[in-house]
Chains A and B, each alone.
Chain A
């Protein structure tokens, strides 16, 4: 079999300039992008024979539940672990995500996503960790809806694809809106519903969504992000109306 050819966009640091290097690794059945990068670590030599530092990337679980290894594979944002070589057109190109600051090579800094979860109170306020009895009974169909939303691994695919989300604006983005929907749905979470909605109504909030609908197409967990966005629009509109009547 022909060796696997990988053209990789590299960058030495946040302020460095990017450059491309091409590597070749032997073909192996069931190889994925991560296993190819691991091969490069064992022999970090470019196709032209130049010895270089191994490529740097993030990964952890290698089974698409941690969200770490998100990058652009052949221009498409996805997790590199489930990117099987046999299913991809070669030569492969690997690039870091473009909507987050590059740390080094394929590593990016997605801390903005976690900050957004703080801004929106994305948690359930509990009384404490002590034995204070059962949680609320929840219909299984509500659980099923919540479960799908709760599979979000904060990978950032939806934000990479979103035309509204840029490196330097304050747009919260689909992942955050969907988490707000998740916590607002929960019987205990609903006690803080308005607080979360108010965060979503600020600058960078739900009204900035351009309705491009690409987020839902790239989500590796098939989370119905556009439904979440619609639900957030509805809830925030209701809150605005309520505020008018209460003022």
Chain B
């Protein structure tokens, strides 16, 4: 019997998509790879600082188990623990793999991998290639995929856009509907499985650190087709970005990993140049408030602190919404070698040299911890069954997601340099899952009736014809800016229920105005406008997921901060007290006097809050909006406890 050709369709050519493709090729699948643009230009190139893997090359006592603990704690215990554990244990092998592919990782004097520190950990476990690690990783994987492409196993369709999954009458994904961005032609592809490796949704906020393709349209399209979307309200705000009109450009956490210090003048409104402000007149607020982690507290903590300094204490530089990120104490040569890439970006966009003048930075929307709900199968021993077809599968059978498009690895807040790791880990995992799924299929995709595909093609052709005919008063790009401003103002670092519920109403207004959009370009060749209108339609729906999820979650967890529900951790609280408290409650009555004043009360509040809210948010599309329910989180390995970084 002739072996049948197993085909997987991979949407997106960033780190997750490329890793999935390499793994699928290795398993002798044929791959169709769909991307808006040459995959080498994917958003993963913007990742700067590095990739985590605990190898303890500096004898600090680091290990994958410590990495696991840091990641789970950094995510405020909202991540499924076996997945995180498995990822952290595979991290060293992933870094070695990338090294073998030729990534120019910085080296020690002996020529081995060098590691630096990043946020949310006390260990040096971040491997890096200057300050353009993401770019270097994309290139290495892109080269491997190009090799497979030249051998005929990968068919790249660049300048193509994924519109939706082809789902048969049993609810199984059998392929994808694709839009050729040059010819405008809409067609379907058959495949045993479809993998969405389409990245994050930063552009919902209009201005973010994300690239222009990061609209979240593909994942939203899956949600509109019935897939569950999880933890949408958990949006990471990166503490350090360069303010800008078109984009908020990232200043990597590696700047702080290499000793960068955050400060503001002690006297509000002090307008002296930074170099003229003496040490004792500078307020290094992260170092003062968090003596243990200092400038390397996790991102959610750092962003909240910067916000408080600027808006509550009114101490922003010269009264403006900015703080200093200072590297001027380092030698110029040192900075160029370790951080050259990001210093160049700062120089090019501000005209100032960070080795001479402290950088002015402010927090910006950066990453979505949430994404499409995907499944996994643990092996019963706190790790993942690598061969399960369930790994990374969305709630639509045959439709997978990986990378930032999924939701699993970072809980309520992602640690720096864990994103490149989760992209590649989940990419490799999903490649194998898709292969095993293909082997297990009862009906092969080539035996599915062509009417299933034709039906889907007709739906999308009609939809696009309709969008091309839209002839109202609203400019779609202006409406997108308004959507972004609305979210930036109301669904960012500090969240209040009154603002969130009015935002939800305003989103309905924006949605009704969307119906009055004008398609300004009705030509048939390389016309981005109908695509953008479709993406805007998705972005509006995704905004509802984020906003409603935020409104309903009445607690403070990780990046989701509602001051009203802050449990007010006592200043001198030690998280071990909570473990002690939990143990004692098993066999005896605990009294106030067993703990420092106020601590027992706090721990009871913490416990009650976790019982209610330590849950995955699940959004499902019902009645033109998200219906929100909550699922259990797998916390079987590390007992959730209060976070503390000072």
Which A residues are closer than 8 A to B by beta carbons?
12-13, 28, 30-32, 34-35, 38, 41-44, 53-54, 56, 58-68, 82, 84, 87, 103-104, 107, 110-111, 114, 117-118, 121-129, 131-135, 137-140, 143-144, 146-147, 150-151, 153-154, 183, 186, 188-189
Contacts and interface: CB of A to CB of B under 8 A. Distances in A.
B99 to A, nearest CB: 3
Contact of B139 (A128, A132, A140, A150): A150
Contacts of B182: 103
A104 B184 CA distance: 13
Given A62-B249, A124-B100, A134-B99, A118 B150 contact: yes
Interface stretch (B34-42, B361-369, B445-453): B34-42
Given A38-B246, A41-B477, A137-B112, A128 B135 contact: no
B471 interface: no
Interface of B: 22-23, 26, 37-38, 40-43, 45-46, 90, 93, 96-97, 99-102, 104-112, 114, 129-130, 132, 135-136, 139-140, 143-144, 146-147, 149-150, 158, 182, 211-213, 244-247, 249-250, 337, 341, 344-345, 348-351, 428, 475, 477-478, 481, 520-521, 523, 525-529
Interface centre among A84, A123, A153, A186 (most CB of B within 10 A): A123
Contact of A68 (B23, B37, B97, B149): B37
Nearest to B348: A82
A56 B149 CA distance: 29
9 contacts: A42-B475, A60-B37, A60-B212, A61-B43, A61-B211, A118-B146, A118-B149, A118-B150, A128-B26
A31 B245 contact: yes
B245 A63 contact: no
Nearest to A179: B143
Contacts of B247: 62-63
Given A31-B245, A61-B45, A137-B111, 9 more contacts: A42-B475, A54-B520, A60-B42, A103-B526, A117-B146, A127-B100, A131-B90, A135-B99, A150-B102
Given A153-B135, A186-B102, A61 B41 contact: yes
A147 B143 contact: no
Contact of B96 (A60, A123, A133): A133
B510 to A, nearest CB: 16
Contacts of A154: 38, 40
Given A56-B526, A60-B43, A124-B100, A65 B245 contact: no
Given A38-B477, A41-B477, A137-B110, A63 B345 contact: yes
A99 to B, nearest CB: 17
A129 B40 CA distance: 20
B40 A189 contact: no
A64 B349 CA distance: 10
Given A42-B475, A123-B146, A188-B100, A66 B41 contact: yes
A59 B212 contact: yes
Contacts of B344: 64
B45 A65 contact: yes
B100 A114 contact: no
B40 A114 contact: yes
Contacts of B525: 12-13, 104
Nearest to B93: A131
B130 A147 contact: yes
Contacts of A84: 348-349, 351
B41 A140 contact: no
Contact of B528 (A56, A132, A150): A56
Contacts of B105: 143
Contacts of B102: 123-124, 146, 150, 183, 186, 188-189
Contact of A135 (B46, B100, B520, B521): B100
A56 to B, nearest CB: 6
B106 A13 contact: no
Nearest to B111: A137
A31 B508 CA distance: 32
Contacts of A129: 22-23, 26, 97, 428
A130 B504 CA distance: 47
A55 to B, nearest CB: 10
Contacts of A147: 104, 129-130, 136
A12 B213 contact: no
Nearest to B214: A60
B88 to A, nearest CB: 14
Given A60-B213, A123-B146, A53 B520 contact: yes
Nearest to A28: B245
A54 B521 contact: yes
A107 B146 contact: no
Contacts of B139: 150
A154 B212 CA distance: 19
B125 to A, nearest CB: 16
A205 B130 CA distance: 31
Contacts of B529: 53-54
